[in-house]
Amino acid sequence: MSEFPEEPVPLITFSEDEDQLKVNDEAMELLRRIDGHVAVVAMAGLYRTGKSSMLNWLLDRQSGFRVGPTIERCTRGIWLWGQPQRHTMANGEHVWVLMLDTEGMGGLEASQQYDARIFSLATLLCSKLIYNSQGSVDEKAISGLSFIANLAKHIKVSASANEGEDEDVMQFHSFFPSFLWVVRDFTLELVDEDGDPISSSDYLERALADQPRTPANMERNRIRAMMKDFFRDRDCVTLVRPVHDEAKLQQVDAMAIEELRPEFQEQLSHVKQIVYGESLQPKMLQGKPLNGSMFAGLLQAYVAAINSGGVPVITSAWEGVTASECRKAMSTAAETFKKSLAALDLPLDDEDLVEAIKDAEEQAITQYRAAAIGDSAAKLEADLRKRMEDDKAACARNNAAQSKEMCDRLLQVLYAEQIQPKLASASDESGGFADMQQFSREWLAFRDAYMKKARGGAKLECLLTFSEAKYAEAMRILLSRQEEGYEKKIRTLQGDVSKVKEELGSVGGREQIYKEQIEQMQAQSSQIMSEKARFEAEAEAQRERIANLESMLQDEAATKQHVEIERESAGLKLSSEAKKREEVDSELARMKSEYERVVQEKERQEMELNLLSEECQQLRKGQTCGCTIS
């Protein structure tokens, strides 16, 4: 414990100007820093009996508490050894041992009232009171314990008791420490009247036995009775002189333990076993072990009572200590609760937040109950619960605010990643939404992703608010874009229809031309056929004429040559007419084929026009259709 000084620290001093005891703030701070139960060993006795030396030996230190060779007091008030000693009790638990050195009693510089105050405080504060004396436990030593008989004048158990009231005094033993009488420079032999060896404890009990009831013994017997009643857990040890040489006795405090008499070393070891051994217990009050902070509070309460002109009241001081400890426990538990709430990974869903707060509250209450003691515990636990209610409400508000902030941010991020890029694209070819159905599917995926990541009670409200704005906006954009697409398709189809109509008009014009040409060709064909018939008739007439000529040839040989010439001329003419007829027939066949092709083209274009008209009607129906997407 490096933060504690290895030196004596004044604990309680006396101000002669104010005639009051003063509690040293430095010592109070040291005590409050002790985390754990404390056992308090106080050294008391007449002045100049080597109390400080005895404490130094118990601390295994050659220098520690101030000692001196003169008859003047070395210790004023009550001093505390700055560094607590850590020891293990019989039950295995650790305890911090505090060493107190008190001002010696019976000196010329202090009044009996002052000595009684110091001794009363030492008795009330410690868990083991060591009374240091020299010589033997004789009648003189018993008479020197008169301050014990007067403790009833300086201590009260309850505030309602009158001074010295028997019922109150009879309870002292419940609050008083164990008592160890250390008899220094003991030279007697520990034997009984028969010469049989006795222990130092037996020696003390024999000394405390009532003596014959004579006027001289009455006061000493009263002291004996008080001693036995107040300190029911008592013991005694005897120590020989530490050195044989009288000259070295004044420098004994500067000598190492190894330089002292072996018998003294052995007896000193026995004292240590009593102080630090199985009998070591923490300072208890009302069945509760005290820690450093409680001990400091108890000390302040006792000193305040003395300074106010009264006497320390054990129960009142304890009530003040317990109330203070409860307030401290409440403050610590409340701080623990706050830290537990601050450590939560907010935002949390409402169910998780309720469970986490419940766990933190139970932990704080358990911590409070482990430290809270006394009658104030229940009331301050109720106060603690009220404080925690305020903290719970603040935590819930903080969780809601963080939930809203997180959910709003998450919605923006997911929307920018999953919806906005496709919504910004003009068409499905460029990554946009193909139709309302695809947008609806993507929106559901966006919502599911949000619900998996969102936390806190604000997630549904944030989603609803966001959806009301963004979903409607997206629908307007998509409907507007779809309407523009429909309008564009309609304009395109209308252009196609106009073009088809123009083509149909063109086809109709060509059809009329073809009809006229066909009619003209048919007329020409009829004319040709008529001429053919005429030519054929003429040919027949020529054949008949040739026949007549041949007949006449027989008769008229002279005219044979002329007939041959005529015949050849008629043949040439007939051949020319036949060739002309073939050309007319070929042209007529070509015109018929062209006419049939034009008719087929017209039928195809009329069919395409009908299909385009039907598609236009369907697009107009889609434009007026309302889509509902959930």
Please write down the HEC assignment for all residues of 97-109.
EEEEEECCECCCC
User: Does residue 546 carry a pLDDT above 80?
Assistant: no
3-class secondary structure, 23? strand
CA distance 231 to 148: 10
3-class secondary structure, 288? strand
Give the residue with greater pLDDT, 530 vs 257.
257
Confidence of residue 394 (pLDDT cuts 50, 70, 90): very high
User: Does residue 432 carry a pLDDT above 80?
Assistant: no
User: Does residue 465 carry a pLDDT above 50?
Assistant: yes
CA distance 5 to 32: 14
Confidence of residue 582 (pLDDT cuts 50, 70, 90): confident
CA distance 277 to 269: 11
**DSSP designation for 191:** B
Instruction: Please count the residues of the chain.
Output: 630
Residue 493 to residues 482, 506, 603, 616, Cα–Cα distance (Å): 16, 19, 20, 7
What pLDDT does residue 537 have? Answer: 66
User: Does residue 535 carry a pLDDT above 60?
Assistant: no
CA distance 357 to 606: 80
What's the rounded mean pLDDT across residues 346-370? 95
3-class secondary structure, 198? coil
Q: Which residues pair with 253 in a beta bridge?
A: none
Model confidence pLDDT, tens digit, residues 30-63: 999 998 999 999 999 988 788 888 999 999 987 7
DSSP string of 330-388, one letter each residue? HHHHHHHHHHHHHTS-SS--HHHHHHHHHHHHHHHHHHHHHH--STTHHHHHHHHHHHH
**All residues at 6 or more sequence positions from 328 whose CB lies less than 8 Å from its CB, including other chains:** 293, 371
Residue 437 to residues 433, 467, 537, 624, Cα–Cα distance (Å): 9, 17, 83, 17
Residue 5 to residues 44, 157, 303, 530, Cα–Cα distance (Å): 23, 35, 24, 152
* C-beta of residue 75 within 8 angstroms of C-beta of residue 104: yes
What's the rounded mean pLDDT across residues 358-386? 94
- Percentage of the chain beyond pLDDT 70 is 82
What pLDDT does residue 564 have? Answer: 59
* C-beta of residue 364 within 8 angstroms of C-beta of residue 417: no
User: Does residue 331 carry a pLDDT above 90?
Assistant: yes
- Return phi, psi of residue 40, to 5°: -115, 120
Of 170, 146, 171, 163, the closest CA to residue 224 belongs to 146
What pLDDT does residue 412 have? Answer: 94
pTM flag (> 0.85): no
What pLDDT does residue 598 have? Answer: 66
CA distance 381 to 267: 51
Model confidence pLDDT, tens digit, residues 294-328: 999 999 999 999 999 889 999 999 999 999 889 98
Q: Determine which of 58-62, 250-254, 400-404 has the lowest per-residue pLDDT on average.
A: 250-254
Q: Where in the chain are all domains bearing CATH 3.40.50.300? A: 8-312
User: Does residue 629 carry a pLDDT above 50?
Assistant: no
* C-beta of residue 325 within 8 angstroms of C-beta of residue 371: yes
* C-beta of residue 436 within 8 angstroms of C-beta of residue 629: yes
CA distance 178 to 279: 9
What pLDDT does residue 128 have? Answer: 97
3-class secondary structure, 204? helix
Cα angle at 369 between 363 and 374, to 5 degrees? 165
User: Does residue 557 carry a pLDDT above 60?
Assistant: no
- Return phi, psi of residue 10, to 5°: -60, 130
User: Does residue 194 carry a pLDDT above 70?
Assistant: yes
User: Does residue 563 carry a pLDDT above 60?
Assistant: no
User: Does residue 630 carry a pLDDT above 60?
Assistant: no
CA distance 268 to 248: 18
User: Does residue 579 carry a pLDDT above 90?
Assistant: no
Give the residue with greater pLDDT, 72 vs 591.
591
* C-beta of residue 67 within 8 angstroms of C-beta of residue 253: yes
DSSP string of 382-409, one letter each residue? HHHHHHHHHHHHHHHHHHHHHHHHHHHH
What pLDDT does residue 424 have? Answer: 81
* C-beta of residue 584 within 8 angstroms of C-beta of residue 528: yes
* C-beta of residue 243 within 8 angstroms of C-beta of residue 263: no
CA distance 369 to 363: 10
Q: Which residues pair with 130 in a beta bridge?
A: 43, 180
* C-beta of residue 64 within 8 angstroms of C-beta of residue 54: no
Confidence of residue 358 (pLDDT cuts 50, 70, 90): very high
User: Does residue 187 carry a pLDDT above 80?
Assistant: yes
Cα angle at 414 between 410 and 419, to 5 degrees? 145
Model confidence pLDDT, tens digit, residues 206-245: 999 999 988 888 999 999 999 999 999 999 999 999 998 8
Model confidence pLDDT, tens digit, residues 480-528: 877 777 788 888 887 877 887 777 777 666 667 767 766 776 676 677 6
- Return phi, psi of residue 8, to 5°: -70, 145
Residue 545 to residues 384, 536, 557, Cα–Cα distance (Å): 152, 14, 16
* C-beta of residue 54 within 8 angstroms of C-beta of residue 67: no
Q: Containing H/E element for 619?
A: helix 560-623
Q: Determine which of 95-99, 178-182, 552-556 has the lowest per-residue pLDDT on average.
A: 552-556
Give the residue with greater pLDDT, 543 vs 183.
183
The pair of structure tokens assigned to 157 is: 């158990």
What pLDDT does residue 398 have? Answer: 95
What pLDDT does residue 626 have? Answer: 46
Residue 355 to residues 363, 367, 400, Cα–Cα distance (Å): 12, 18, 16
- Radius of gyration over every alpha carbon of the chain, rounded to an integer in angstroms: 64
What's the rounded mean pLDDT across residues 532-553? 60
Domain 469-623 has CATH 1.10.287.2610: yes
What's the rounded mean pLDDT across residues 203-208? 96
What pLDDT does residue 209 have? Answer: 95
Q: Containing H/E element for 200?
A: helix 200-207
Q: How many helices (H) and strands (E) does the chain have?
A: 19, 11
What pLDDT does residue 163 have? Answer: 58
What pLDDT does residue 246 have? Answer: 82
- Percentage of the chain beyond pLDDT 90 is 51
User: Does residue 72 carry a pLDDT above 50?
Assistant: no
Q: Tell me which amino acid residue 461 is.
A: E
Of 630, 182, 225, the closest CA to residue 437 belongs to 630
User: Is beta strand 178-184 parallel, antiparallel or unpaired with respect to 128-134?
Assistant: parallel
The pair of structure tokens assigned to 416 is: 């920018």
Of the candidate CATH numbers 3.40.50.300, 3.40.640.10, 3.30.2130.10, 3.10.20.30, the domain formed by 8-312 belongs to 3.40.50.300
The pair of structure tokens assigned to 472 is: 């409607």
- Return phi, psi of residue 286, to 5°: 55, 35
Cα angle at 265 between 262 and 268, to 5 degrees? 150
The pair of structure tokens assigned to 178 is: 């164990």
Q: Where in the chain are all domains bearing CATH 1.10.287.2610? A: 469-623
